[in-house]
């Protein structure tokens, strides 16, 4: 028996990494109009690292993300606008501003072992702002299904409406996705979602595995735009789900048109699985480390793959982008000594 799923489009958030957070107001307006016309239920808009992410550490946005949220809201007739917030990067004040600008859903993201730091933000969003709230457990490959369930239950206890298994490194294989998602589905009383990265070429397979395990929220990105090798390609995902008989409510042809006619001309480089992206998935490293590792490797005369593998050995997590340059400096010193 097939189930309906809710699609969340992330090209205006995760896709921001791929364009170095340089989306313009005009681009956001055009993309949102297209996605809204394709009947996408939720459109996530913010800096790639969430509201408040524009910084020297994560990369400066061309346009303040609160302004982009406002523009998105003005151009959506029925699609709801969502945003991402990483506690410690974004604050409750950022959340207030995002809500005032038009965000109706917030996805509060933490490392998969640190759900407790989401309590303040989830409770405030739910109880004070009356937003839809998603708990987003990043780097889910780093813990067992049992440990992930413990963390997901914390987010549920704080008031999360949905909890996501998030494959931030694109490191999970389909069976690993199934185990984690299914364990949450059968042991929790709220919907479960899944967010994939394509670093090992498995984003679509993993997304389908998540659906088969019981996930009812699935993320996609038009033209696969996202950190690393990008995310599950929305227009392909809709076509595959349609062939499976799964109802999404999304207009496939219009979604194809958004990807082909709007997103593709905006892309500065094609979203491909290159050697560094493969290394991200192989080493289990956060997908947004890709550009930072390239810069650090060039600066210190290293192979970016060696740097990413070393970051994987050290179990670095999202939010530690500054450590990449420290690791690179240490590796270069060893190489020259």
| Token pair for 262 | 């709007």
Q: Does 35 reside within a domain?
A: yes
One domain, residues 158 and 292: no
What's the CATH number where 295 sits? 1.10.8.60
The answer on whether 94 is annotated among ligand-binding residues is: no
More confident residue, 275 or 322: 275
Q: Is 158 annotated as a binding residue?
A: no
Q: Is 333 a catalytic residue?
A: no
Number of domains in the chain: 2
- Confidence band (pLDDT; 50, 70, 90) for 270? confident
Same domain for 311 and 184, yes or no, is no
Q: Are residues 251 and 292 in the same domain?
A: no
Does 276 map to a domain?
no
Q: Which two tokens stand for residue 315?
A: 């179990």
Inside any domain, residue 203: yes
Beta strands in 188-331 (DSSP E): 192-195, 217-220
State which of 236, 266, 296 marks the end of a domain.
Answer: 266
The answer as to whether 88 is a domain residue is yes
Q: CATH code at 181?
A: 3.20.20.70
Burial profile 324-333: b = 16 or more Cβ within 10 angstroms, e = fewer: bbebbeebbe
User: Are residues 223 and 318 located together in one domain of the fold?
Assistant: no
Radius of gyration of the chain from its Cα atoms, rounded to whole angstroms: 18
Instruction: Give per-residue pLDDT as tens, 210-244.
Output: 999 999 999 999 999 999 999 999 999 999 999 99
Looking at the structure, do residues 243 and 292 belong to the same domain, yes or no? no
Q: What are phi and psi of 8, to 5 degrees?
A: -115, 125
**How many residues does the structure list for the chain?**
337
Residue with tokens 């997901």: 152
Residue 1's pLDDT is what? 56
Q: Which of 215, 232, 266 is the last residue of a domain?
A: 266
Q: State residue 265's pLDDT score.
A: 92
Confidence band for 294, pLDDT divided at 50, 70 and 90: confident
Which pLDDT score is estimated for 321? 77
- What Cα–Cα distance (Å) separates residue 204 from each residue in 23, 90, 166, 174, 195? 26, 30, 14, 10, 10
Q: Residue 59 is encoded by which pair of tokens?
A: 């990369």
Same domain, 253 and 299: no
Identify whether 1 is part of a domain: no
Residues 167, 241 within the same domain: yes
- As given in the structure block, the two tokens for residue 174 are 């389909």
Pairwise CA distance, residues 41 & 38, whole Å: 9
Burial of 2 (0-12, 13-18, 19+ CB in 10 A): exposed
- Residue 333 confidence class, pLDDT cut points 50, 70, 90: confident
Q: Is residue 271 part of a domain?
A: no
The CA-based angle 299-304-309, given to 5 degrees, is 130
Asked if residue 200 and residue 292 are part of one domain, the reply reads: no
pLDDT at 58 over 90: no
The mean pLDDT of 290-303, rounded to a whole number, is 88
Dihedrals φ, ψ of 165, to 5°? -90, 115
> Which residue from 194, 197, 160, 200 is spatially nearest to 180, judged by alpha carbons?
194
| 56 inside domain | yes
Helix (H, G, I), strand (E, B) or coil at 133: strand
CA distance 289 to 127: 34
Span 133-158, pLDDT tens digits: 999 999 999 999 999 999 999 999 99
Q: Is the pLDDT of residue 21 over 80?
A: yes
| Mean pLDDT of the region 11-22 | 92
168 annotated binding-site participant: yes
| Residue 101 sits in the same domain as residue 157 | yes
Tokens matching residue 18: 């791929």
Q: In this structure, is residue 201 part of a structural domain?
A: yes
211 annotated to a ligand binding site: no
Q: Which domain-ending residue is among 210, 232, 266?
A: 266
pTM, two decimal places: 0.93
217 and 325 both lie in a single domain: no
Structural domain for 322, as ranges: 288-336
Residues 113 and 165 in one domain: yes
Same domain for 306 and 243, yes or no, is no
pLDDT at 287 over 60: yes
């Amino acid at each position: 028996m097939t189930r309906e799923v809710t699609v969340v489009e992330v090209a205006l958030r995760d896709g921001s990494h791929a364009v170095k957070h340089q989306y313009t107001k005009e681009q956001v307006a055009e993309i949102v109009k297209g996605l809204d016309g394709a009947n996408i239920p939720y459109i996530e808009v913010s800096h790639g690292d969430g509201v408040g992410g524009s910084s020297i550490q994560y990369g400066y946005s061309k346009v303040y993300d609160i302004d982009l949220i406002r523009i998105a809201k003005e151009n959506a007739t029925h699609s709801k606008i969502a945003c991402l917030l990483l506690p410690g990067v974004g604050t409750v004040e950022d959340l207030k501003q995002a809500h005032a600008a038009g965000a109706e859903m917030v996805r509060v993201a933490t490392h998969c072992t640190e759900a407790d730091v989401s309590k303040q933000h989830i409770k405030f969003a739910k109880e004070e702002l009356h937003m839809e709230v998603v708990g987003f457990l990043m780097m889910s490959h780093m813990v067992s299904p049992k440990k992930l369930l413990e963390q997901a239950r914390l987010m549920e206890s704080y008031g999360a409406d949905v909890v996501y298994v998030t494959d931030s490194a694109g490191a999970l294989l389909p069976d690993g996705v199934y185990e984690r998602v299914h364990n949450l589905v059968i042991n929790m009383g709220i919907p479960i979602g899944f967010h994939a990265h394509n670093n090992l070429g498995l984003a679509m397979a993993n997304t389908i595995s998540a659906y088969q395990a019981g996930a009812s929220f699935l993320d996609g990105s038009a033209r696969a735009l996202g950190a690393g090798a990008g995310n599950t390609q929305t227009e392909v995902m809709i076509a595959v789900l349609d062939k499976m008989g799964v109802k999404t409510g999304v207009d496939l042809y219009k979604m194809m048109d958004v990807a082909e006619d709007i997103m593709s001309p905006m892309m500065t480089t094609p979203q491909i699985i290159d050697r560094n992206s493969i290394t991200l998935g192989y080493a289990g490293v956060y997908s947004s480390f890709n550009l930072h590792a390239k810069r650090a490797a060039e600066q210190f005369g290293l192979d970016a793959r060696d740097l990413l593998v070393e970051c994987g050995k050290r179990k670095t997590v999202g939010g530690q982008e500054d450590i990449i340059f420290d690791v690179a400096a240490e590796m270069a010193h060893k190489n020259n000594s």
